[in-house]
A and B are shown apart, each in its own frame.
Chain A
């Protein structure tokens, strides 16, 4: 039996961090163009985090824009370091505010989100052969539904570490918790997702066949 790692090796820290820092320092002095360059660089990351946390694209877009406006307003209070975790932290807090205002507690809520699959969304998936596409398409739909059902904090950890591929230390910075707590939330979130996926025989079969096909590829 061949053991393989599912996750890539821990991604290196953002190579453009220095440039980010220069831009945010310029923005703190009132340079709006510099700030808009930062927006362009991190917009996708912030938007996807908001989308995973809130579930709908319109809400995610609003939260993302609010986050950037907050970042602009608070640019002067940026204390140095990496800009991406700082921006994602602002976005996370914005999402928690939205969740609170919608009456759902950010922690421990197992209420399913009404996860809307909007056909107009532009998703970025690698185009694969039709059979495989159907298979992963179903699995991906199943995964989205399961993601909506795990607690927000675990979803945040899974989103940051597995979906966005942030190093654990950066995720800890975003979530303002210790490395051990990030690991714990990540592991519990993954395990809960797996349990939700294998709860139905079809889902279990989907997962196992996906694993078999990817292990064949790796061999």
Chain B
């Protein structure tokens, strides 16, 4: 339903004027048509007319509102021009002390960046050392099946594995022990003969008397090389499976510790009988100590070098930032001086 234009105009002129319209009327920013409609309405509507007149008076009062004059003219003195508006907070001062010339936010960003860098670097270092540590057990895992396969292959000659392992573990120590034991044992090729002797003696009862001297010596050697035993706990663990075999065999050293039991197992091996069967498992197991020792040694040195490198890097970064900050301070100093002189 459409309304004729004349009626619509009449209806619109009957509507009260809004505050915005009244304001526009006061400011004189209405279009001529709108002014005409407003005039028509104000002539007919006392309420809007009073709103308009009071608004007009308000704006007039605002325009003639009192103002204040400065009691004394303010002039910026050279001292005020030099002084900062605010004293720096303790955070600013601290960051200025840590990183001169760099504002707190930049110093904080730098700190976060260094933190991230250090976390990343430490992660890399620990990852490296993890992998180097994993290398040891990996070798062990390779070695374990061979060790376990030995008792599996020979149920009767179970003790063979134990001495052979012992020989392989105390490879270097055995050399020294044999050298120390002098003429009682054959000085050369100690590991091989001992293994072979053990294999030979598996059926026989072990001659405790003959082994006594060796036992003491080898034990001493085991004591002399505690680093080897301590540095490679996996080896001790790997020797534990063999412990069952000696114990079941003859109750040679039922109360002894695994290490002692193992050394005691080696005792009944008189060196002179060495030549009988030189081939058994010792070559298969022998490689295990060497790679383990090498990898662990390499891993440690890599970590230490990495940490040293990282420390050096941090030092360089800090020195660079400090230098940068001081350069900035020096750069900003001359304008300040010229300001104060001006």
Q: Which A residues have a C-beta under 8 Å from some C-beta of B?
A: 1, 3-8, 30-33, 35-36, 39-40, 43-44, 47-48, 51, 57, 60-61, 64-66, 68-70, 72-73, 121-126, 136, 139-140, 143-144, 158, 162-163, 165, 186-188, 190-191, 193-194, 197-198, 204, 207-208, 210-211, 214
Contacts and interface: CB of A to CB of B under 8 A. Distances in A.
Interface of B is mostly: helix
Given A66-B85, A68-B74, A207-B57, A163 B65 contact: yes
A140 B42 CA distance: 27
B11 interface: no
Contacts of B85: 66, 69-70, 73
Contacts of A73: 84-85
Interface residues of B, number: 46
A64 B76 CA distance: 12
B73 A190 contact: no
A60 B68 contact: yes
A199 to B, nearest CB: 11
Contacts of A60: 68
B80 interface: yes
A36 B76 contact: yes
Given A139-B61, A187-B19, A30 B68 contact: no
Contacts, number: 157
A48 B70 CA distance: 9
B58 A190 contact: yes
A208 B54 contact: yes
Contacts of B335: 30
Nearest to B60: A6
21 contacts: A6-B27, A7-B26, A7-B63, A30-B342, A32-B76, A35-B81, A44-B67, A44-B69, A51-B67, A69-B80, A124-B67, A125-B64, A126-B64, A143-B65, A162-B59, A190-B19, A194-B51, A208-B50, A208-B53, A211-B60, A214-B60
A36 B75 CA distance: 6
A61 B42 CA distance: 45
A214 B22 CA distance: 18
Contacts of B3: none
Contacts of B39: 1, 3
A1 B42 contact: yes
Contacts of A48: 67-68
Interface of B: 19-20, 22-23, 25-28, 35, 39, 42-43, 50-51, 53-71, 73-76, 78, 80-81, 84-85, 335, 338-339, 342
B54 A198 contact: yes
B65 A140 contact: yes
A124 B58 contact: no
Nearest to B27: A7
A106 to B, nearest CB: 20
Nearest to A186: B23
Contact of A136 (B35, B64, B80, B84): B64
Given A140-B66, A210-B61, A211-B57, A187 B76 contact: no
A193 B25 CA distance: 17
Contacts of A30: 335, 338-339, 342
Q: Which of A1, A139, A190 has the most CB of B within 10 A?
A: A190
A40 B73 contact: yes
A194 B55 contact: yes
Contacts of B43: 1
